[in-house]
Structure 1
C-alpha cells in the first residue's frame, strides 16, 4: 500500500546538497526548464540546438564541430562514446584510480574490447610516464581516462597525455563528468579526441543530459562504422572491415546526422533538458569560465581549510584533488552514517558517503555548481562541527569557521 497520496503535488523537502553530486540546480536553470515545449524541427528549436553547440565549444575550449548533447545522464554520454568507437577486439587501456575507471572497463568489455588496465591506490593518480610506459607495452587503439573521480575526489592530470597519444597513434578519451567547468580542461590544447560530461556537478544543472565533444579524428572512426535503421534508411560508411555499431540510441553517427544540417530523424530531442543545458552554459560564460573555475577553487580551498581547522583528516593526495569535492576521513569512534543522518534531519544538509574500499571510511563533501558559494561552505562547516561535538568528537571551537573565513579574506586582499 502506498504511504503517500499519489494525487498530491510533488513538493520535495528543502535540502542543501553538499555531497559529490547531484547538487542544487541554479534557479535560472530551473526557470529555463519550465519553458513551453516546441516541435523538434521548429526553426526556433534547431536554432537552440545550434546555440548549444556553440556555447559548449566555449566550455570545452575546442573548435570541434561535433560538440552537442546526448539525451541521458552522464553515463549515456560515456556509453555513446565507447559503443560508437570500440570495435570487437580493439585494445583499450584504462588507468584505474577509482570507481569510474572500473565503469569504463565494464562498458568497454560490453563492447567486446580487449581491456588492459593499470591501477593506482585510491587517493593517488598516475604520472604521465607511467601511462606512456603502459601504452608502449599494450599498444592500445584507445586510451580511456577519467579526469575527476568522485569516488576518490582525485583529479588525474591530462595535459601531457595528448602528445603521448599522438606519438603512439592512440585515440584519447576522458570522462569529465565530475570535473568539467570546475577544473581546468583544455580539449584542443591537450589533444583530447573525445570528452563527455554531465550537468549535475559543476555545471549547476539537473542530471539528464550529457554534453560531449568529438575531434575530427574521433568523428572519422565513428563514420567508418555501419549504422542501419530498418525501414527508414541504411547508411554504410565502411569498406566492410568495421563492425556495425550495436546500439541504435547511442550511435554517434546517427546522432551527428540529427544535430547536423541534415536533421535526419533519430530521436525526439529532450527539449526541457536542452533548455537546461543551454542555460547552464550561458550562466557560466556570463560569469566567465576562468572565473567559474576560480570560484570552485576558492570555495573548495575554504572547505578544505575548515575541515582541517576542525581537526579532521583529509583523504588522499591533496595536491591532486578536484577543486569541487573533498574526502574527509571519518574519525575513530564516530559512526559516519549517524553523522550524515543528523546533518540531513537536523540541518537539511546532505553530504556524501562512499563505497568500495572507502565504504564507511570517508565522507565526500562537494562545493560545486550553484553550491560553490561562501554561505554554503560556512553552513556546512558549522553544521558538521555541531553534529560532531554532539557525538563526542571534540574539535577546536570555532576554528573551522575561522580557517574558512581566512581563505575568503585572503582572496579579497
Structure 2
C-alpha cells in the first residue's frame, strides 16, 4: 500500500523503567507458526507454561497460568474476581501503582482503605499489621516493586501477618519479578500477578499469575453460571456474579484446566513468548539472573554517583533493576532525554506525580542487564550532560561501573576456586 512501508523501528537501547529490549530468543518464539487452541500440541504448551511459571514464582500452586493482556489485565483479573461489593480492601501506597490498585478495587465496589508513606520510602511490617488490625480487610493488595519510585517493598514478613488475621494477600510484582527475590510459597502470598516487559525480558501483552488454594476457594464461591453451560460445582456457587466475563478467574481456570472449557481463544503467540521468557530465565538459573540484575543495578548506581548525580529514595530499599536520579538544576531534563533518544538511540524514563520533572528513571532489566548496556548508557549520559553545560568528572561514571563489574567477577572466580 502506497505510503506504508514495512516496519523498521530504530535500534533503540531501552534503559528506562520498561518496556525493555526483548531477549532475541523471545522475539524468535513469537514468530512461531500457530496451531489450533485445542490441538494437543497447543494444550501441551499450555501445560508446560504453567509448570515453568511455578518455578519462576517459586510455588507449588496448581493454578498458575496466563491472563491474556498486559500486566494490568492480571491485576484486574485478581481484584475483580476476589472482591464482592462492600468488601474491605487495604492498600499500602508508596508510589503510582498503589494508586492504580486502589482505583481498580474501587471500580469493583470495594470499601477501599489506604495507608501511605512518602514516595521514596516503604512500609514496615508493623505499619501494615497495625492497619490490618484497624481495618480488618478481606484482602491486602500491594505492589512489590514500584517503578515510579524505584522502591522495593519487603514482603517476607507480611504473609504471616495476613495469615494470622485471615486476610488474603495479593501482590503485583510486575516490575520486580526476575530481577529481585520473590518467594510466593515461603512468603505466604495468596495471589501474584506480573508482566513480561521488565526483568523477564519480553514484550507487554501477557500476564502470568499464580493463585493459592485459599484464594481459589474464595473466588470459586462466586456465582457465574453461563446459560447452563458451566458444570455443577459452579451452579452451586454462592455470592454475586463476577462482574467481568473476560477477567473471571474461575472461568479462566477451567479453560486452562483438564476440562478445557471454552472461555476465550488463547493468544498463542504471546503464550509462546511467555513460555520462552520463563525458559530463558530458568536456563540461566534464577539466582544467577537475580545476581546479574544486582550487579548491573549496583554498577549503574555507582556510575551515577561517581558522575556527581544524586540517586532518589531510600537506597536500602531500591530495586536492583532501576534507579531514580535527581535531574541537576542546570539542565533541562526532557532535553537530555530527547538528545539521548534521538542522537544516541538510548531511552531513559521520565517520572510523574510528585516526582514529575524531578528525576529520571534508568533501568537495567532483562536482556539489558548487561555490562555493555550499562557502560554505553553512562558514557552517553555524561556526553549529553556536558553538551548541556553540566560539569561531570570525565569518565568517572564508566570507571566506577567497571570497578563494580570487576569486583563481581573476582568474587565469582574466588567462589569457583574455593569449590574446586
TM surpasses 0.5 = yes
Contact 2:221 2:237 in 1 (8 A): no
User: In the alignment, does 2:319 pair up with 1:322?
Assistant: yes
1:44-123 alignment runs, 5 A limit: 44-123=41-120
3-state DSSP of counterpart to 1:70: strand
d(CA) in 2 for partners of 1:188 and 1:232?
34
The equivalent residue for 2:8 is 11
d(CA) in 1 for partners of 2:373 and 2:222?
48
d(CA) in 2 for partners of 1:174 and 1:235?
31
Which stretch of structure 1 is more off in the superposition, 236-245 or 44-53? 236-245
Which stretch of structure 1 is more off in the superposition, 238-247 or 312-321? 238-247
Per the TM alignment, residue 234 of structure 1 is displaced from its structure 2 partner at its CA by 6.8
1:220-231 alignment runs, 5 A limit: 220-230=217-227
The equivalent residue for 1:342 is 339
The equivalent residue for 2:211 is 214
Q: Tell me the alpha carbon deviations over residues 341-385 of structure 1, each in whole angstroms, 9 at most, x when there is no partner.
A: 000011000000000110000000000011000000000000000
The equivalent residue for 1:374 is 371
Per the TM alignment, residue 6 of structure 1 is displaced from its structure 2 partner at its CA by 4.9
Per the TM alignment, residue 412 of structure 1 is displaced from its structure 2 partner at its CA by 1.4
d(CA) in 1 for partners of 2:277 and 2:57?
13
Q: Tell me the alpha carbon deviations over residues 307-345 of structure 1, each in whole angstroms, 9 at most, x when there is no partner.
A: 000000000001101000100000012110000000001
d(CA) in 2 for partners of 1:36 and 1:215?
34
Q: Tell me the alpha carbon deviations over residues 90-118 of structure 1, each in whole angstroms, 9 at most, x when there is no partner.
A: 00100000000000000000000000000
Per the TM alignment, residue 14 of structure 1 is displaced from its structure 2 partner at its CA by 1.1
Contact 2:223 2:238 in 1 (8 A): no
Contact 1:225 1:236 in 2 (8 A): no
Contact 1:225 1:238 in 2 (8 A): no
What is the RMSD computed on CA atoms of the aligned residues? Answer: 1.3
User: In the alignment, does 2:162 pair up with 1:165?
Assistant: yes
d(CA) in 2 for partners of 1:250 and 1:31?
29
1:122-161 alignment runs, 5 A limit: 122-161=119-158
User: In the alignment, does 2:307 pair up with 1:310?
Assistant: yes
Q: Tell me the alpha carbon deviations over residues 4-46 of structure 1, each in whole angstroms, 9 at most, x when there is no partner.
A: 9553111111100000000001110000000000000000000
User: In the alignment, does 2:19 pair up with 1:22?
Assistant: yes
d(CA) in 2 for partners of 1:7 and 1:89?
51
Per the TM alignment, residue 236 of structure 1 is displaced from its structure 2 partner at its CA by 6.2
Contact 2:221 2:238 in 1 (8 A): no
Per the TM alignment, residue 229 of structure 1 is displaced from its structure 2 partner at its CA by 2.6
Q: TM-score, normalised by structure 2?
A: 0.96
